[in-house]
Amino acid sequence: MRPDQLFDLTGRVVVITGGAGLLGQRHAEAVAGAGGIPVLADARADTFMTEDPRFKDRFGPQATVIPTDITDPLRVDALLEAVVDRYGRIDVLINNAANNPKVEAASDVRSSRLETLPVEQWHADLAVGLTGAFLCSRVLGGEMARRGKGVIVNVASDLALIGPDQRIYREPGRLDAQQPVKPVTYSVVKAGLLGLTRYLATYWAEAGVRVNAISPGGVRTDQPDEFVQRLSNLIPLGRMARVDEYEGAILFLCSDASSYMTGANLVVDGGRTAW
Ligand SMILES: NC(=O)c1ccc[n+]([C@@H]2O[C@H](COP(=O)([O-])OP(=O)(O)OC[C@H]3O[C@@H](n4cnc5c(N)ncnc54)[C@H](O)[C@@H]3O)[C@@H](O)[C@H]2O)c1
């Protein structure tokens, strides 16, 4: 098979939770570039004008946005119904949605530090990152299992594999107990997604549904230079990722290029977890 055939997604319906976010939009563009039909399922779906020609230019003529809250079982059932009504089927689910607190800009560290993290925050983060992925997998993955073919990709993180190095988030002039940190929920959600990946991969192996995870490292956006430098020092390639550097891995996992792969975690982290 030629490389373009291996990665081809022509006509495949790919539901991307958190599709309106920073990386979700890039996953959608990559899917559209390979001929697939991205469905952006997001709580913030109102940011897109689907009839705008620019939307179709970016995501393809058949792409759509479905407003949804993946923490709500009824909304997830409605998501499947809307996808099947519109396209007749679903081929791929990318569990990408998450609560992503921006630690480096934290002004209220009480909501992120272990000692004071509100239990409501714990429930909210797990509700999106884990319960949402479980519900979408059960409902949309269940439909793929009934049809005998499908793919699920769970978006984890390098922090699914290693503990956060809290030193990179430190701000000068603060007491230790006032320093911002990456919250525990991030590690728990991302590590949990790897467990979900292995469970679903073995549960649905004979049903024809492959389930893998991707563990991306941090993407460079508008973080302060000092933070970027500290994090880059922990990465053998010496830099954070560009926002387009996960597209190849996403296409690999979504397409037949990864046909003999299930239950695995594809680490794309500039080598951070190798150090
Ligand atoms: N950006 C990074 O540096 C990075 C690094 C490693 C892993 N990741 C992971 O990649 C994924 C995407 O990250 P991102 O940077 O694009 O995040 P983002 O915050 O830009 O996007 C997340 C999206 O999820 C949506 N969402 C939140 N709650 C929802 C709900 N209940 N129902 C439906 N949608 C909901 C949000 O509206 C948002 O559009 C996340 O799982 C994140 O943890 C990101």
What pLDDT score was predicted for residue 103? 74
What pLDDT score was predicted for residue 45? 77
State the Cα–Cα distance between residues 197 and 28, nearest whole angstrom: 21
Residue-wise pLDDT tens digits, 116-167 = 999 999 999 999 999 999 999 999 999 999 999 999 999 999 999 999 999 9
Report the sign of the C-alpha dihedral through residues 172, 175, 180, 186, in that order.
positive
Per the annotation, the verdict on 246 as an active-site residue is no
Query: Which mean pLDDT values do the consecutive 10-residue runs of the chain (275 residues) have?
Result: 91 97 97 98 84 91 96 98 98 96 70 94 97 98 98 98 97 93 97 99 98 98 96 98 98 98 98 97
What pLDDT score was predicted for residue 105? 52
**SS (HEC) of the chain:** CCHHHHCCCCCCEEEEECCCCHHHHHHHHHHHHCCCEEEEEECCHHHCCCCCHHHHHHHCCCCEEEECCCCCHHHHHHHHHHHHHHHCCCCEEEECCCCCCCHHHCCCHHHCCCCCCCHHHHHHHHHHHHHHHHHHHHHHHHHHHHHCCEEEEEECCHHHCCCCCHHHHCCCCCCHHHCCCCCHHHHHHHHHHHHHHHHHHHHCCCCCEEEEEEEECCECCCCCHHHHHHHHCCCCCCCCECCCCCHHHHHHHHCHHHCCCCCCEEEECCCHHHC
Residue-wise pLDDT tens digits, 31-50 = 999 999 999 999 997 777 77
Length of the chain as a residue count:
275
Number of other CB atoms surrounding residue 217 within 10 Å: 23
What pLDDT score was predicted for residue 48? 78
What pLDDT score was predicted for residue 106? 58
User: What φ, ψ does residue 213 adopt, rounded to 5°?
Assistant: -120, 155
Ligand 1 binding pocket, CB closer than 6 Å: 17-18, 20-24, 42-44, 68-71, 96-98, 100, 128, 132, 155, 157, 216, 218-219
- In terms of pTM, does the model score above 0.85? yes
State the Cα–Cα distance between residues 173 and 188, nearest whole angstrom: 29
State the Cα–Cα distance between residues 275 and 272, nearest whole angstrom: 6
Which atom number of ligand 1 is nearest to the Cα of residue 99? 27
Ligand 1 pocket test target in 29, 40, 42 with most atoms within 8 Å of CB? 42
Question: By the 8 A CB rule, do 194 and 202 touch?
Answer: no
**CA of residue 146 to ligand 1 center, whole Å:** 28
**CA of residue 50 to ligand 1 center, whole Å:** 20
Residue 255 structure tokens: 């397409």
What pLDDT score was predicted for residue 107? 67
Question: By the 8 A CB rule, do 270 and 237 touch?
Answer: yes
Rg, the chain, Cα only:
19
